[in-house]
Amino acid sequence: MRRGTVILLGTIIAMSLAIPAMGGGMEIPGVGAKAKAMGGAWRAIANDWSAAYYNPAGLVYVTEDQFTVNEAITNFRYKYNPNVKYGNYTVGYFNGEITNRFAVLTNPSAGGYFRIPISGKTYHFGLAIFQPFDKNISWKLFQPLNNSQELPDKQIEHNFDAVAFNVTAAIELQPNKLSIGISTGVLRGDLIYGGFFLRPNPASTTAIYYDQIASRPNDLLTEWQRSDGKGWGFNLRAGLMYKATPKLTFGFSGAIPSQVTVKGDTYLMYYMPDLQEYHSRSDVSSSISAENYILSSGAVYAAHAQFKTKINLPGQIGGGVAYLVNDKLTLAGDLQYTLWSAFKGYEFQYTFASSAITLNNGINQWMTQNMSLPVDWKNTLRIGVGAEYSYSDIIKLRGGYAADQSPVKSNTQNPAFFDSGLSHSLNLGLGLVFANSITIDLSTEYVINGKTTDSGVTYLTSDGGTDNIADNMAGTYSGSAWESIAQITVRF
C-alpha cells in the first residue's frame, strides 16, 4: 500500500493541467509523452497511466506499479490578419498580420497505476489528473473608432481548462486477449473569457439628432467584458482492447459528452462614442435627450456582475491498431471522431446588483443584457500514425504524424476559438531507462495549422440571432505551435 499511497499523493499533488490543445477544437489530442511522440496513436497500446484518457482497457498491460509526472511546455504562434467590415466599412480592427500574445505555457499532469488482487483476480487501477480540454490564447487587435481610450491589453483572452480527476479500472476478460476498462471522475472547469462585442447603438431612431449621433462610426458601440469562473462536471470514458494475435492489437474507446456549469464574476466596460464637440453646440445641448447624451459622451462606464454559463463538451469515439513488427519495432494507427457539434460556445447570463448601473432606464437595460459567444462547430476526424523503435534496452525512439480536422465552419472563425483548418503535426520522441526503475520520456511536436480565410459578417442563430452582434471575425487565419514534453515514470 505504500506504493499506492505514494501514487495517490503524487497524483493529488501534481497540478492538473496536461498538454494543451494542439488540434481540433479545444481538445487535447495527446496526453502523455509516449503517446504524443507517436502522433497520439496510442489507443491500441495504452500501457501506461495515460490509458485513463486513451483506452482504459490498456491498463491491464501495465507491468509494474508506477507513478508518472508529465511536464509540457508549449508555445502557440497563431496569426490573424483582420478583414472585418460591416458592409464596405472597417470598424476598428488593426491592419496587418497580428500574432497572438506571446506566452510559454507549462502544463503538468500525473498519474499512477497499481494492482489489487481481489478474489483471485487481479484488478488494475489507475489514478490520473489530466486535461482533456484546454484553450489558452489572447489577442490585441482592435481600437474603437469612436473612442480614443484603449481597451485592456488582453482584448481577447480565452483561457479554458477542463481537468479530469479520474479513477480508472480495468480487467482482463480473457488473459492476453480481451480486456475492458473504464475511467471516470469529476471534471473541473476553469474559464476566463475576456472579449469585446460591437453592439448596435441603442439610440432611438426617432430621437432628435439620431442621425448625428448614430452615423458611422457611432452606429456600433464597444462593450468589453472579462468573466472569470469555475465549475464542475462529470466525465466517463470506456474502452476495450483485443489482441487478435500476439503481434496485432485493436483498441476501441469512447467518452460521453460532458457539461460543466461555470459561475463566477464579470467585469464589464462600455465605450461610448465621443461627440463632445457636438454637444457644445447650443442647439444640441438644449435638445438632446439624456439617454442620447450618454450615448455620445465619450465616457467609459464600468460595472460588475455575477455570471453563469453552461459549457457542453463533446463526446468522442475511436479505434486504433498496433502491430508489433518485431521485438524492436511497433507501428500504430488511430482514428477518432469527436462530436464537436455539441459545443455551442458560451452564453453568459449576468446577474447585476440593483446598484450596478444607475444611468438611465434605457441605458441600464442595454448595459445589463446577457451576452453570448456562440459557435457553430461540426464533428471532426483525427487520424494519427506512429512508430516506436527500441534502439536498445535503455533507449527507445518514437515518431509520429497526425492530421486533425478543424470543427470551425467557414465564415465563423473567431480568434478566441482559434482553429484555422486542418492541422498537421510531426512528432519525435525519446525514451530513456535508468536503473531499470526510472524512465524518462521526451517528446517534441511541431504543428502546422491550416490557413483559412473568412469573409463577411455572420450572425449565428444559436444565440437566438436577435442580438445583432457579429459572431465571427473575418480575415486570414494561420499558425503553428511547438511543444515539448518531459515525463518521468518511477516503477515500483
Which chain residues interact with another protein by CB under 8 A? 73, 75, 77, 86-90, 92, 94-102, 104, 140, 143, 145, 148, 150, 200-201, 211-212, 214-217, 219-220, 277-278, 391-392, 394-395, 397, 428, 430, 432, 442-444, 446, 468, 480-484
| Closer Cβ to another protein, 6 or 73, answer by number | 73
Distances (CA, A) of 472 to 71, 86, 398: 34, 12, 40
Shortest separation between residue 213's beta carbon and another protein, angstroms: 10
Q: Which DSSP state fits 300?
A: E
| Distance of alpha carbon 99 from alpha carbon 475, whole angstroms | 13
Shortest separation between residue 223's beta carbon and another protein, angstroms: 15
| Closer Cβ to another protein, 403 or 486, answer by number | 486
Residue of 244, 237, 145, 151 whose CA lies nearest to 194: 151
Shortest separation between residue 99's beta carbon and another protein, angstroms: 5
Kindly tell me the burial class for residue 225, based on how many C-beta atoms sit within 10 Å of its own C-beta (0-12, 13-18, 19 or more).
Answer: buried
Shortest separation between residue 275's beta carbon and another protein, angstroms: 8
Shortest separation between residue 190's beta carbon and another protein, angstroms: 25
Distances (CA, A) of 112 to 3, 23, 72, 130: 10, 26, 18, 12
| Closer Cβ to another protein, 59 or 295, answer by number | 295
| Closer Cβ to another protein, 88 or 358, answer by number | 88
| Closer Cβ to another protein, 49 or 139, answer by number | 139
Shortest separation between residue 153's beta carbon and another protein, angstroms: 11
Name the grid cell of 95. 491592419
| Distance of alpha carbon 64 from alpha carbon 46, whole angstroms | 14
| Closer Cβ to another protein, 204 or 261, answer by number | 204
| Closer Cβ to another protein, 184 or 201, answer by number | 201
**Alpha-carbon dihedral 200, 203, 209, 210, rounded to 10 degrees:** 40
The residues that bridge with 236 in the sheet, in sequence order, are 184
| Closer Cβ to another protein, 1 or 104, answer by number | 104
| Distance of alpha carbon 129 from alpha carbon 112, whole angstroms | 9
DSSP secondary structure of 3-43: HHHHHHHHHHHS-S--SPP-SSTTB-S--SHHHHHTTT--T
Shortest separation between residue 465's beta carbon and another protein, angstroms: 11
Residue of 322, 385, 429, 443 whose CA lies nearest to 39: 385
Shortest separation between residue 279's beta carbon and another protein, angstroms: 11
Shortest separation between residue 440's beta carbon and another protein, angstroms: 9
Residue of 232, 213, 420 whose CA lies nearest to 313: 232
| Distance of alpha carbon 304 from alpha carbon 225, whole angstroms | 9
Shortest separation between residue 70's beta carbon and another protein, angstroms: 15
Cis peptide before 217 (omega within 30 of 0): yes
| Closer Cβ to another protein, 356 or 430, answer by number | 430
| Distance of alpha carbon 309 from alpha carbon 314, whole angstroms | 16
| Closer Cβ to another protein, 144 or 231, answer by number | 144
Residue of 105, 98, 193, 211 whose CA lies nearest to 152: 193
> Looking at this protein, which amino acid is placed at residue 229?
G
